[in-house]
Amino acid sequence: MTGSETPSSFRLAYVPGVTPTKWVRIWAERLPGVPLTLVPVPAAEAFGVLRSAGADAGFVRLPADGEDLSAIPLYAETTVVVVPKDHVVAAVDEVSAADLAGETVLHPLDDTLDTLGWESPPGVPAKERPATTADAVELVAAGIGLLVVPQSLARLHHRKDLTYRPLTDAPESRVALSWPRDATTDLVEEFIGIVRGRTVNSTRGRPPTPPQPKAKRAARAGSGSASGGARSGKGGQGGKGGQGSRSGKSGQGGKSGRPRRRS
């Protein structure tokens, strides 16, 4: 159901690793009177926030966990393994899941591995699960284990003593824009248009500029004809004046010749 009233603000949720800056900037340019509020949420809680009306829409990691939510896939991220810079993995450009056999791999409670559809994650799971990805990164730096995450999270938690390498045979993490299917308001439609790259005058975006009434166009056309007639009249006068001037000069030229003698 599409809302007919315009709310005073728009709430946009986003999971760690997603940078909504570009879309927020376009929103501010197109709808300066409607503030956009960013709502950061853990990946595991994003769908719950949308269902509980904690946000109007949100950038989430697929798959969506129910048919009551709509989703538009946007892009996919490479999965990487985060390791200390002196680890053997750091010596190569990329690794496979088999290369991590026997390695302790941390699985934080806010991990995104569950969303990758990976039946058997690489390595050996740690005995305890860190509370957050940030905590897991600290443990990697302490040499306690490795961490498998989407590349954007590896960049988000960058440290000088850590590095990361792509996992060649790992599934990718897919990012999407999602919102409750029964709460597709006008502002949600506006944001969908921005994310999809629609222009301001798109028929599915903001309302296009209405056509001018025929009466006004006719009046303008009549005004243009009158102006054209006036210009034509001036041109005619100028033409006559020019001809007269040339005739006068010609006559004066005749008079200025040598006079005939009278016989």
Q: List pLDDT tens digits, range 226-235.
A: 444 444 444 4
Q: Which CATH number fits domain 10-76+174-195: 3.40.190.10, 3.30.1540.10, 3.40.50.261, 3.40.50.620?
A: 3.40.190.10
In CATH terms, are 10-76+174-195 and 79-171 the same topology? yes
Can you give the chain as a three-state secondary structure string? CCCCCCCCCEEEEECCCCCCHHHHHHHHHHCCCCCEEEEECCHHHHHHHHHCCCCCEEEEECCCCCCCEEEEEEEEECEEEEEECCCHHHHCCCECHHHHCCCEEECCCCCCHHHHCCCCCCCEECCCCCCCHHHHHHHHHCCCCEEEEEHHHHHHCCCCCEEEEEECCCCCEEEEEEEEHHHCCHHHHHHHHHHCCCCCCCCCCCCCCCCCCHHHHHHHHHHHHHHHHHHHHHHHHHHHHHHHHHHHHHHHHHHCCCCCCCC
pTM of the predicted structure, to 2 decimals: 0.71
Q: List pLDDT tens digits, range 148-195.
A: 999 999 999 999 999 999 999 888 999 999 999 999 999 999 999 999
Question: Mean pLDDT over residues 88-111, rounded?
Answer: 92
**What does the longest C-alpha to C-alpha distance in the chain come to?**
142
Model confidence band, residue 114 (pLDDT cutoffs 50, 70, 90): low
Question: Mean pLDDT over residues 137-155, rounded?
Answer: 95
Share of the chain above pLDDT 70, in %: 71
Closest CA to 157 of 173, 133, 130: 133
**What CATH fold (topology level) applies to the domain 79-171?**
D-Maltodextrin-Binding Protein; domain 2 (3.40.190)
Residue 113 has what pLDDT?
A: 67
Spans of all domains in the chain: 10-76+174-195, 79-171
Q: Looking at the predicted structure, is the pLDDT value of residue 257 above 70?
A: no
